[in-house]
C-alpha cells in the first residue's frame, strides 16, 4: 500500500473470492487504479479459495494471502464453510477476512446466519463506488496491521 511513512510499504497479497467475472475485473481494476501496493489474486469458488490458502495445486506457488475478500454466496463451498476451515487451522486463522455483502440489509442477513468475520463491506454496484470500496478495504487493513500502541 502507499503509506511508507507508517512503515507499511510491503506488497499486500489479497485473495478475492468472487464468482462473478465482471465484478472480479472491476475489483482488480479498482485496486490497480488506487495505486496501492498490492497484488489481487482471484478465484471464483470456495474450493479454489481453500486450495489457494492451503497452497495446493494449482496454487502450490501462490503466496499465502494477507487479506481475503469473500463473497459468501459461492457455487460450491459457501462462505461459512470457508470461514470455519480457516478458523480451525491456527496458521490460517490469522488471515483477516472481509465478507462482501450486496447491501446493508445483506450484511444483517449474513450476520444473522452466523457468518463471523472481522469485517463486512458492502459490495459496490456502480463503477464510481469502487473507489469508496477500495478506501474501506485499505482502512480495514491499516486498522489490523497498525501497532496497538499507536491507537
| Residue at 151 is within a domain | no
pLDDT digits (tens, 9 = 90+) for 98-126: 888 775 545 555 555 555 566 777 787 77
In the block, residue with C-alpha cell 499507536: 150
Which residue intervals of 1-151 are DSSP H helices? 21-33, 46-54, 79-87, 90-93, 104-112, 129-145
- Whole domain around residue 90: which residue ranges? 4-145
- The pTM for the full model equals 0.79
In the chain, how many domains are there? Answer: 1
Here the CATH number for the domain that contains residue 62 is: 3.40.50.2300
How many angstroms separate the CA atoms of 13 and 141, rounded?
11
Helix then strand then coil, in percent of the chain rounded to 5, is 45, 15, 40
Q: Which of 22-26, 50-54, 73-77, 131-135 has the highest mean pLDDT?
A: 50-54
84, part of any domain: yes
Q: In the predicted model, what is the mean pLDDT of the chain?
A: 78
Between residues 6 and 40, which one has the greater pLDDT?
40
Whether residue 115 lies inside any domain: the answer is: yes
Amino acid at each position: 500500500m502507499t503509506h511508507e511513512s507508517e512503515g507499511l510499504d510491503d506488497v499486500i497479497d489479497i485473495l478475492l473470492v468472487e464468482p462473478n467475472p465482471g465484478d472480479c475485473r472491476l475489483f482488480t481494476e479498482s485496486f490497480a487504479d488506487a495505486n496501492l501496493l498490492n497484488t489481487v489474486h482471484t478465484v471464483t469458488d470456495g474450493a479454489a479459495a481453500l486450495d489457494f490458502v492451503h497452497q495446493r495445486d494449482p496454487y502450490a506457488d501462490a503466496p499465502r494471502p494477507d487479506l481475503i475478500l469473500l463473497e459468501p454466496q459461492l457455487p460450491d463451498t459457501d462462505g461459512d464453510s470457508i470461514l470455519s476451515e480457516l478458523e480451525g487451522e491456527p496458521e490460517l486463522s490469522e488471515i483477516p477476512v472481509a465478507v462482501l455483502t450486496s447491501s446493508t440489509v445483506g450484511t444483517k442477513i449474513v450476520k444473522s446466519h452466523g457468518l463471523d468475520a472481522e469485517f463486512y463491506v458492502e459490495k459496490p454496484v456502480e463503477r464510481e463506488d469502487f473507489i469508496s470500496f477500495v478506501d474501506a478495504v485499505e482502512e480495514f487493513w491499516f486498522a489490523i496491521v497498525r501497532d496497538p500502541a499507536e491507537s
